[in-house]
Structure 1
Amino acid sequence: MKRMLVALALAMATVAPTFAQTTTTAPAETQTATKPVKTRVALIKLSGEMLERPASFDFSLFGGFSNPKAPNVATMLTTLNRAAKDPQLGGVVLDLSAFNLSITHANEIGAALKSVRAGGKRVAIYAADFDTATYLLATHADTIVMPENGNVLLPGVAMQLMFSKGTLEKLNMSADFVQVGKFKGAEEPFTRTSSSPEFKEQIDGLVDGAYDHIVKTISTNRPNLTAADVRNIIDEGWFSGKRAKALGLVDHTLGREKLDAWVNSQFENGTLQVTDYGQPKKPAGEADSPFAILQMFSGAAKPAKRNTVPTVAVLYATGQIMPDVGESGGGDGLVTPGTIRAAVDKALKDDMVKAIVLRIDSPGGSASASDEIWQILKEADKKKPVTVSMGRVAASGGYYIACAGRSITADPGTITGSIGVVGGKIVMKGLMDKVGLNIETHARGKNAEIFNMMRPFSDDERALIAKNMTETYATFQNRVMSARGKKIAKFEDVAQGRLFFGSAAVKAGLVDQVGSLNDVIVAAAKDAGIEKNYQTMVLPEPRTFADMLREGFAMDVTSPTLEAAMQGLPREYRAEVVRALRMANTLQREKLLMALPVGISGN
């Protein structure tokens, strides 16, 4: 279902009052001929899927080149913060045609829209169709507009888990895992065909949390609707624009072809649209000069930009936590010690960087890599303050690295916790026998074959793994309690693999408060004494096309054949297949993981 979402931020500018009003005409003898001044309105067109941070230039054999200019939360926050404070701007129009975003990203952008409203500007949102995430974003406006024959889809919350035990059995394979944490569940997608009672309890808690968040957001932002009203609306589920207006979900029904005229009508003298608001100025000849193109393909590096004003560095840890995989760092979908170390070094060496905000959107991964990253961040905090903002998910290893920060802020929709350890292997002996492949092993040492994928663990090997996992779990406990000890009454009440959603994590003592990334940045600037004049910088810096040529293509665990096969899967399942493959691949090298179960990726 195609969507076109347009957000209107309309302000009372000094030269352009909004909506109906009375005016006083001066006597004829005192009037002077003046040309009416139109109100400047920023028109920002977005399409595709909203990302967490600016994308790197990348290439896939079947997906082609990535779009380094894809819309992202970091850039949107900067643009909307600028708009909120811009005295020369009377309004903002966000054209979100064919646009997708997560509920967590809707929370972030919605908070920024509230800042626009707080700056004296009116905000309205238009869409041809709304789904849950786009409608939650729309509720942060004071006016919602859509066509009479458009659609609003608010079906509720459903979380699907993928279990591969049956698939492994059909391939004559099996999973042999050991875990520490009664509720951990990270091995269940490989070892079971459905959830255990303990894991089901955790998932039901997340679904309840997400449902309650949707109800609370709508009923809070739309005062005409009570929580009971919203629950009844969700049970009805699907509405036309006409029905949505009757229910109080939207304020006006209006077609897109009439929207521009409606915008102009809100300002006495009409509007002047600014189509490049917030975008960096394009150097002369860039992209359309043959010399510029040759320079891009040559891999020539541009001189590094130097910060000239006080800066808050926003360090993104987005994706699975993995060990270092080469110079490229593994791409935007991975968090590695190497990429974090390089980014931290850049922030520490820059005298204008006064604070670091760690933005985490990670389900965890390698236990050893998580600890290495924790140590890097902890050392950085001794020199410049590190605070933490959580995105959609910051669980297991993702929560582990969060404990390096002085304070932790979760989004209302964050999934966090999952304090536990899991390890194991995929036994492939049956598959090898089926295809007629025999592997002969010659070994010395009692445990030389502990991770031999041709057989399951022996009792002694399983005991050895459990011993090492218990030690790793104890280290995890130490990291958590050293950071959160005063706020967590009893460690085991929040550990054992338990999962927490948003505000429940605050009650458990795992995080300090619920808030947006922008809230954390503002607080970091204030604590550093630079709140009156500062900028933000994104780290690690996005990988450019020239970087890709110099460093080579980042390799992933997905082969061209498998990548082609995954094109036939529904889009929402592809990422989880890749996560499962990465988890299995990491186990071959790392042995112990701090990872959220496959299938839980946040909202």
Structure 2
Amino acid sequence: MKLKLLTLLILWTTLSTAQNLYIPSFERYLFTATSDGSEGLRVNPANMGFRHKINFAVYLSSLRKFSVKNYETGLFLQTMNLGIGMKSVRLGDSTSLLISSSTGFGGEGFSFGVGLDYFKIGGEKFKTSINAGVISRPFNFISISFVAHNLTGRYFQNTPLEKRYTAGIGIRPFGNDILTLSSDLILKEKQKPKNFKFGAELKIVNGLNLYAMLDNTKTFSDKKTFIFGFSINLQNVGFKIFTDFENSNIKATASTFFTREVMNTFIYPVKKIAEVEIRGVIPDYKEQPSIFSKPRKSVHDLIDEIEKASTDKDINGLLLKIYPFTGEIKLYELEGLTQELAEAVKKVKKAGKPVVAYLGGEMAGVNELYLASVADKIVIAPECMIVGYGAVIDVSRLKSFFEKFGIEWDAMTAGEYKSTFHSFYTDSATPNQAKLIEGLVDEIHKQMIEQISKSRNINFTDETIEEISGGLIPPRAKELGIVDEIGFYNEAKKMINKLANNRDDENINLTKLDKRKYWDKTWGIIPKIAVIGVHGAIVTGESQPPLPFPLLNERLTGSETVVKQINSAVKDKSIKAIILRVNSGGGSALASNEIYSALKEARKKKPVVVSFGNVAASGGYYVACSSDRIFANPGTLTGSIGVVYSKPVLEKLYENMKIKIETYKKGDHADMFSTTRHWNEIERKGIENALQYTYLGFKQKVAENRNMTLDDVEKLAQGKVYTGTQALDLKLVDELGGLKSAVDFAREKARIKAKYDVKFYPVPSLFGTQDGFIKSMLRNLFLNKLFE
């Protein structure tokens, strides 16, 4: 009997020592359902599915009595969905080495992962073990996990390393990371589930957490053990210390955590200045990745970057580098996207952080000066001239030009003003149309002057207004108070350093916020607001990118593509509201009606909001009617409620070129849309009826959705166009504001109170990796070959 007891004692001691040598002691303080990042790569491989950027942890544990012969140290590294770790133990004369790797797949609500352990204990050879785990986080208050360790059931020192299963759960009673309760239940083969551990993590302030645990897993101690600890995070680095105050094998563990993602903290030892550069052609949409280049920054990327400066606690100032920039669709120089950028800068100032703008191009025009004027101070380069700060609309009348080549036009409109900007078939504006254009110019100019006058505290005289509409050299601009200093970029850095840090040098800590990512501890599927774009000409069929050829360089938004995106957003349970972003002068009435109808159906299930960019006219306004709310920038061009149809007539061109056209037809009007002849009176009457039918349908939709009568709509319609400010007065839009304002309204309408994301549906690009022209061509080529 004594011999049996002695044998059992030796086996138990061997197995206990082996388990201690094999399992990283740091895992004692981790839980399978609630531990994230590199620390959790082995405790649950599914953690890798949450795809954090590069982060790693280093720890040191004292075993029994700490000495050079009793210690454990380890390193864990994660990059996106891959992780690798190494642990080394020395316990008296016993040593072990463990190398672990894990990968995970999934994200947000669910993740699955597998891991491989490669370990060596004592003098034995390296052996392998396979681990697998899952994590489910269906809501922001619960996390559930299950992990299987050592599925291969390896032996060492003639002792089995037992298979082990862990079922875990995490609870956040308040739906956030203020308090996290965790529990793991250890399940072993042929044993009752009696080994467990509980833990609580309490956030005192951002960056300071306290931990308390009860460990009854019997892995590192044969009795229940109470463990306490704390952690401190300093943005990209963190520290943790745990101790159990009990007579267990592990007395204390200290770890350091590093990450490229920014963690919340209460200490900001080094304040930074955010630097944002604005230049070139700025799209109003998110581009798809290209096989040849990175997507360009959209205006929404730039706005996010600027607004981060207002909310990030380690940012104490903003430096704007402004070079000549422009949008893609516009009628006049002042653009709605510029006004949206300006509103973002105002938020930084409202947060109490100084803003300095540097005008660094050879010229600063309307958009550059308008945006810079919002800043606290403006530095202008010595050779940067302020030019053309005025409002102008150019309309090229091409009717006589075409006639020189024998090209004539058949054109008809529903609405007196519908042909105001249609230049192919007009020689001049009518008196009423000219008055409309003059009203636009006056309104836009008023917005431009009021912006600088208010921001720079300047009372403009008629002479000054005339002067800045021509050209200003930097000294004269400074004399008028339009800029503050003349100098190069280092002068702008000195100025922001003075305002933000009360220092007179240019040695500042600049940072770019576009690549900054934050360590997200949110659980569950994050609610989203979808942004679907209508950009360029509206056509039936699929959307197409612009081609690098004359007359083919306009982006086409296909109704089929947009309707698919709307339906997808409706079906996606994580999307709580839909925003239609419109930057279009119109197009096909049929395509516009298809988008309108899809939005109307979507509105029955989710909030639908519309945001106007630079232009939302004709079909661009049509698609917006069936929404809960319409937002426009003050300078947005909108309206144009009317219908037009035109076709070229090449009869004289053919005569001049000695081209003879033979026509064979059955039906007197079969060739009415041919370019070889003009319409006759009967055909003109038919076109008129079709236009009036479509025009009436357009007006009815406006009346129904804007709570107007048809007579009210008719007064505003007829093809008239308005600025966003004018449209607000006429009740064609509901509020002035950009996409951010629309998102805020959609969030409130959808009752989203916690963290949310904005999901942009990308538009196709020529060399895009998703729906680009090249990919479509190759796909069609291979499909044709496949089915030949």
Which TM-score tier does this pair reach, normalised by the shorter chain? Answer: 0.7 to 0.9
- Relative to 1, partners in 2 of residues 1:85 and 1:517: Cα closer, same or farther, differing over 3 Å? same
Tell me if structure 2 keeps the 8 A contact 1:54–1:542. no
Q: State whether structure 2 residue 504 is matched by structure 1 residue 244.
A: no
Tell me if structure 1 keeps the 8 A contact 2:278–2:321. yes
Equivalent in 326, 340, 343 of residue 562 of structure 2:
340
| Aligned residue number for residue 736 of structure 2 | 514
- Report the alpha carbon displacement of residue 272 of structure 1 after superposing the two structures with TM: 2.2
Q: Secondary structure at the match of 1:546?
A: coil
Tell me if structure 2 keeps the 8 A contact 1:177–1:187. no
| Aligned residue number for residue 573 of structure 1 | none
Equivalent in 268, 271, 277 of residue 508 of structure 2:
271
Q: Deviations over 1:125-164 (max 9, x none)?
A: 1113421111110121122222455322244111111122
Count of matched residue pairs: 489
TM-score (norm 1): 0.75
Q: State whether structure 2 residue 310 is matched by structure 1 residue 78.
A: no
| Aligned residue number for residue 580 of structure 1 | none
Q: Deviations over 1:505-535 (max 9, x none)?
A: 1111211122222111111112212154212
- Report the alpha carbon displacement of residue 426 of structure 1 after superposing the two structures with TM: 0.8
Matches within 5 A, 1:430-449: 430-449=652-671
TM-score (norm 2): 0.58
What is the percent sequence identity of the aligned residues?
30
- Relative to 1, partners in 2 of residues 1:553 and 1:72: Cα closer, same or farther, differing over 3 Å? farther
- The separation in 1 between residues aligned to 2:675 and 2:376, in whole angstroms, is 59
Q: State whether structure 2 residue 775 is matched by structure 1 residue 550.
A: yes
Q: Secondary structure at the match of 1:191?
A: coil
Matches within 5 A, 1:238-317: 238-265=471-498, 266-267=500-501, 271-275=508-512, 277-279=513-515, 308-317=525-534
- Report the alpha carbon displacement of residue 488 of structure 1 after superposing the two structures with TM: 8.5
Tell me if structure 2 keeps the 8 A contact 1:318–1:332. no
- The separation in 1 between residues aligned to 2:400 and 2:778, in whole angstroms, is 34
Tell me if structure 1 keeps the 8 A contact 2:289–2:295. no
Q: State whether structure 2 residue 319 is matched by structure 1 residue 93.
A: yes
Matches within 5 A, 1:224-243: 224-226=457-459, 228=461, 232=465, 234=467, 237-243=470-476
- Relative to 1, partners in 2 of residues 1:507 and 1:307: Cα closer, same or farther, differing over 3 Å? farther
Give 1:311's aligned amino acid.
K
Tell me if structure 1 keeps the 8 A contact 2:543–2:559. no
Give 2:740's aligned amino acid.
N
Gaps of 5+ in 1: 1-35, 60-64, 282-305, 556-603
Give 1:139's aligned amino acid.
S
Tell me if structure 2 keeps the 8 A contact 1:321–1:369. yes
- Report the alpha carbon displacement of residue 68 of structure 1 after superposing the two structures with TM: 4.3
- The separation in 2 between residues aligned to 1:534 and 1:150, in whole angstroms, is 42
Q: Deviations over 1:515-571 (max 9, x none)?
A: 22211111111221215421211123554632334313999xxxxxxxxxxxxxxxx
Gaps of 5+ in 2: 1-267, 328-333, 518-522, 548-552, 781-788
- The separation in 1 between residues aligned to 2:636 and 2:611, in whole angstroms, is 10
Equivalent in 189, 195, 216 of residue 423 of structure 2:
189
- Report the alpha carbon displacement of residue 251 of structure 1 after superposing the two structures with TM: 2.2
* Higher relative contact order, structure no. (Cα contacts within 8 Å, ≥ 6 residues apart): 1
Higher helix share: 1
| Aligned residue number for residue 205 of structure 1 | 439
- The separation in 2 between residues aligned to 1:134 and 1:98, in whole angstroms, is 6
Give 2:535's aligned amino acid.
T
- Relative to 1, partners in 2 of residues 1:82 and 1:530: Cα closer, same or farther, differing over 3 Å? farther
| Aligned residue number for residue 295 of structure 1 | none
- 4+ long deviations beyond 6 Å: 326-332
| Aligned residue number for residue 363 of structure 1 | 585
- Relative to 1, partners in 2 of residues 1:360 and 1:531: Cα closer, same or farther, differing over 3 Å? farther
Q: State whether structure 2 residue 536 is matched by structure 1 residue 319.
A: yes
Give 2:578's aligned amino acid.
I
Equivalent in 343, 350, 357 of residue 572 of structure 2:
350
- The separation in 2 between residues aligned to 1:229 and 1:156, in whole angstroms, is 12
**Cα root mean square deviation, aligned:** 3.0
Tell me if structure 2 keeps the 8 A contact 1:156–1:234. no
Task: Out of 349-358 and 84-93, give the one that drifted further.
Answer: 84-93
Give 1:240's aligned amino acid.
I
- Report the alpha carbon displacement of residue 428 of structure 1 after superposing the two structures with TM: 0.9
- Report the alpha carbon displacement of residue 175 of structure 1 after superposing the two structures with TM: 0.1
Q: State whether structure 2 residue 452 is matched by structure 1 residue 218.
A: yes
Tell me if structure 2 keeps the 8 A contact 1:47–1:71. no
Give 1:453's aligned amino acid.
T
Tell me if structure 2 keeps the 8 A contact 1:39–1:271. no
- Relative to 1, partners in 2 of residues 1:352 and 1:412: Cα closer, same or farther, differing over 3 Å? same
Query: Greater Rg, structure 1 or structure 2?
Result: 2
Q: Secondary structure at the match of 2:541?
A: coil
| Aligned residue number for residue 456 of structure 1 | 678
Q: Secondary structure at the match of 2:501?
A: coil
- Relative to 1, partners in 2 of residues 1:187 and 1:390: Cα closer, same or farther, differing over 3 Å? closer
- Report the alpha carbon displacement of residue 391 of structure 1 after superposing the two structures with TM: 1.1
- Report the alpha carbon displacement of residue 253 of structure 1 after superposing the two structures with TM: 2.7
- Report the alpha carbon displacement of residue 360 of structure 1 after superposing the two structures with TM: 0.8
- The separation in 2 between residues aligned to 1:374 and 1:122, in whole angstroms, is 43
Q: Secondary structure at the match of 2:354?
A: strand
